[in-house]
Amino acid sequence: MSTKKYAVIGHPIGHTMSPFIHTKLFELAGIDAVYTKLDVAPESLGYEYDHILSKLSGYNITIPHKQNIIQYLDEIDEKANMYGSVNTVDNRDYTAKGYTTDPDGFLKALDAAKIKLNGRVVILGCGGVARTMAYEVVLKNIPVLFAVRLEDVEIAKKLCEEIKSTVIGSQPSYCLISELNGDIDVLINATPIGMFPNVENQPVSDEVIAKCKNVFDAVYNPLETVLIQKAKANGSNAVGGMSMLVWQAVVSHEIWDGSVYDPAEIEKICIAASNELKNR
């Protein structure tokens, strides 16, 4: 059996952790495959698709190609269509099908950390990551509150309107981070605050952290941000973004070859990936 070939495409692509994570996953599953990275400029996407991407067994897509790749695919799945974004392609039986694994990666990361989406859910930020997470919350018939900076209020308002029109009966709302108070069942940080090198920063006050039962921080470098450390010190259930990064990669493998992974093994990959980042 010949070695299967996979890759991640993006521009720029030098910083990506995908080859490290996916290689570990292929090794765990005992699958003979190589996974590389391809730096593809936006104007070269069509050429690369015809001459290289279409010949791979599958590939991942990152910024800035998550929307533009769709025009070249034969089909996309329902969730990718809803989000208007593709980050995984499976080339099988001469058919290129696109998926988005970010939402399921988020849900699997929460699952592995035993964090249930219920009660009062607050998302810090209103960018692309926050949008993905918010849709998964409201699709479970749970209200979501965006806590944002003053300069992002208009963005948050438009996002709430979009969600309400897309998911009928959903209840998204927004407030300023400075106005955030009361008990929170699940706090989700979808901002880059606390990311390396500014690791001493935190997105909310100690008073807010103290009132959170569960905390998920999308930041994956460092493995544990100040937010996660303080939440754990308060006795809260808390997990960082490396878990989501690895679990969304796991979902790609479920699509490509049906592999199933033990959560304990995934936790080891999260730690190994974090150490790899430190070494870099």
Question: Is 178 labeled as ligand-binding?
Answer: no
| Fold (topology level) of 104-240 | Rossmann fold (3.40.50)
Looking at residue 14, its pLDDT comes to 83
- Catalytic residue, chosen from 24, 66, 108, 230, is 66
* Displacement of CA 103 from its chain's centroid (Å): 7
pLDDT of residue 1: 60
Instruction: Give me the residue spans of the domains in the chain.
Output: 4-100+243-279, 104-240
Average pLDDT for residues 224-229, to the nearest whole number? 97
Mean pLDDT rounded to a whole number for the chain: 95
**Identical topology for domains 4-100+243-279 and 104-240:** yes
Per-residue confidence (pLDDT) for residue 279, from 0 to 100: 84
Please say whether the dihedral angle defined by the alpha carbons of residues 176, 177, 183 and 185, taken in this order, is positive or negative. positive
What's 4-100+243-279's CATH class? alpha beta
Q: Write the pLDDT tens digit of every residue in 45-89.
A: 999 999 999 999 999 999 999 999 999 999 999 999 999 999 999
Q: For the residues 101-109, what does the mean pLDDT come to?
A: 96
Q: Which amino acid type is present at position 145?
A: L
Flag whether 99 is marked binding. no
Q: Confirm whether 232 is a catalytic residue.
A: no
> From residue 15, how far is each of 23, 57, 225, 279 by CA, in Å?
16, 23, 20, 13
236 a known binding residue? no
On whether 62 is known to bind a ligand per the annotation, the reply is: yes
Backbone φ/ψ region at 95: left (φ over 0), alpha (ψ -120 to 50), beta: beta
> pLDDT tens digits for 117-152?
999 999 999 999 999 999 999 999 999 999 999 999
The answer to the question of whether 27 is labelled as a binding residue is: no
- CA distance linking residue 144 with residue 122, whole number of Å: 6
pLDDT attached to residue 33? 97
